């Protein structure tokens, strides 16, 4: 892992396929990095880490070089003392900008909470992304009352709920389910709850016309957490947005059906060069 220091903390990220001779001229400087560059930066969702994107930043991913970060309080990144909601979303947006500037990445890919972070960057900061991929996310991310209660009082039940059919996964094997559950527990109840409560406050439905970057809204066919309708809304309301649906997948289509997900993202990114 490499790190960048910003806003009094260090944010960790994984960089793959970068050019060791590349010169990045970011204001934020990597403290343990090599100066290599990236084209795409992947932003995970609630309770996850950069590992969610292993099939995307790896050799068979849709674009290289690529980077994937751990948001504050996740994985190897230092935490922040922020209240759930806009304050936390702002902190996560600063994480993304710091890594993007340190690596030179200008295409941002976000899943779920990560999609909210990416939209926050595009709408409310000076960073100007060249493209957005909004995967398993929405312009509004309300969280069910029962899930919010379980995240506060019965974390194991919340984890089990998220791994019921057609939530995080459509048809994952036991190994994938166990790995995903273990990741939520490793992130911990406090940070995961903060993530979901931050999602619950997010609503930019009336601001989508302010986004000027080309976008792709991509969703798993069976996603009941952020259903296809959320992504159809993004495709309709964003000024320049394509829609793609991944068969036989739910919320984490990038992990459950990586080949199909990568083809959809790759086609979109390639089209920007035409």
> How far is the C-alpha of 194 from the C-alpha of 152, rounded, in Å?
10
Which ranges of the chain does DSSP label H, i.e. alpha helix?
54-57, 86-103, 113-124, 145-153, 155-162, 174-187, 189-201, 228-237, 253-256, 258-271
pLDDT at res. 24: 44
Q: How many CB atoms lie within 10 A of CB 145?
A: 9
Under 8 Å between Cβ of 39 and 63: yes
Question: Which DSSP letter does residue 167 get?
Answer: T
Residues 6 or more apart whose Cβ sits within 8 Å of residue 115: 43, 45, 134, 135, 136, 137, 138
Average of pLDDT values for 243-252?
98
Q: Which residues pair with 252 in a beta bridge?
A: none
End-to-end Cα, the chain, rounded Å = 34
Question: Which DSSP letter does residue 24 get?
Answer: -
pTM for the full model? 0.94
pLDDT at res. 37: 65
pLDDT at res. 32: 52
- Least confident residue range of 6-20, 91-105, 148-162, 188-202: 6-20
pLDDT tens per residue, range 206-236:
999 999 999 999 999 999 999 999 999 999 9
Taking phi first (over 0 means left), then psi (-120 to 50 degrees means alpha), and beta for anything else, what does residue 130 get?
alpha
- At residue 64 the predicted structure's pLDDT band, cuts being 50, 70 and 90, is confident
pLDDT at res. 38: 75
Sign of CA dihedral 258, 259, 260, 265: positive
The structure tokens listed for 71 are 């948001």
> How far is the C-alpha of 189 from the C-alpha of 125, rounded, in Å?
29
Unique residue bearing structure tokens 């959320």: 230
- Closest residue by Cα to residue 74 from 9, 6, 156, 119: 9
Judge whether residue 29 has pLDDT over 50.
no
> How far is the C-alpha of 269 from the C-alpha of 62, rounded, in Å?
8
- At residue 273 the predicted structure's pLDDT band, cuts being 50, 70 and 90, is confident
> How far is the C-alpha of 132 from the C-alpha of 256, rounded, in Å?
21
Judge whether residue 27 has pLDDT over 90.
no
Q: How many CB atoms lie within 10 A of CB 164?
A: 10
**CA 271 vs CA 12, 16, 242, 260: distances in Å:** 30, 22, 11, 17
Average of pLDDT values for 121-140?
98
| Mean of all residue pLDDT scores within the chain | 93
- At residue 247 the predicted structure's pLDDT band, cuts being 50, 70 and 90, is very high
């Amino acid at each position: 892992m490499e790190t960048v220091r910003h806003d009094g903390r260090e944010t960790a990220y994984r960089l793959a396929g970068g050019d060791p001779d590349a010169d990045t001229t970011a204001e934020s400087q990597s403290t343990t990095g090599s100066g290599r560059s990236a084209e795409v930066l992947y932003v995970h969702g609630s309770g996850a880490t950069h590992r969610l994107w292993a099939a995307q930043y790896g050799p068979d991913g849709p674009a290289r070089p690529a980077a994937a970060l751990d948001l504050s309080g996740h994985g190897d990144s230092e935490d922040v003392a922020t209240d759930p909601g806009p304050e936390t979303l702002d902190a996560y947006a600063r994480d993304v900008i710091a890594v993007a500037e340190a690596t030179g990445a200008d295409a941002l890919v976000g899943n779920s909470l990560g999609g909210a972070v990416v939209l926050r960057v595009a709408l409310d900061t000076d960073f100007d992304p060249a493209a957005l991929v909004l995967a398993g996310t929405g312009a509004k991310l309300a969280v069910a009352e029962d899930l919010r209660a379980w995240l506060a009082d019965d974390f194991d039940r919340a984890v089990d709920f998220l791994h019921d059919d057609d939530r995080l996964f459509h048809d994952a094997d036991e190994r994938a389910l166990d790995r995903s559950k273990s990741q939520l527990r490793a992130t911990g109840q406090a940070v995961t709850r903060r993530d979901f409560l931050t999602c619950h406050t997010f609503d930019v439905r009336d601001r989508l016309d302010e986004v000027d970057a080309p976008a792709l809204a991509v969703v798993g066919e069976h996603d009941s957490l952020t259903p296809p309708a959320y992504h159809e809304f993004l495709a309709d309301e964003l000024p320049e947005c394509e829609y793609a649906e991944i068969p036989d997948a739910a919320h984490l289509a990038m992990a459950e059906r990586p080949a199909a997900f990568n083809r959809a993202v790759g086609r979109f990114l390639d089209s920007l060069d035409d």
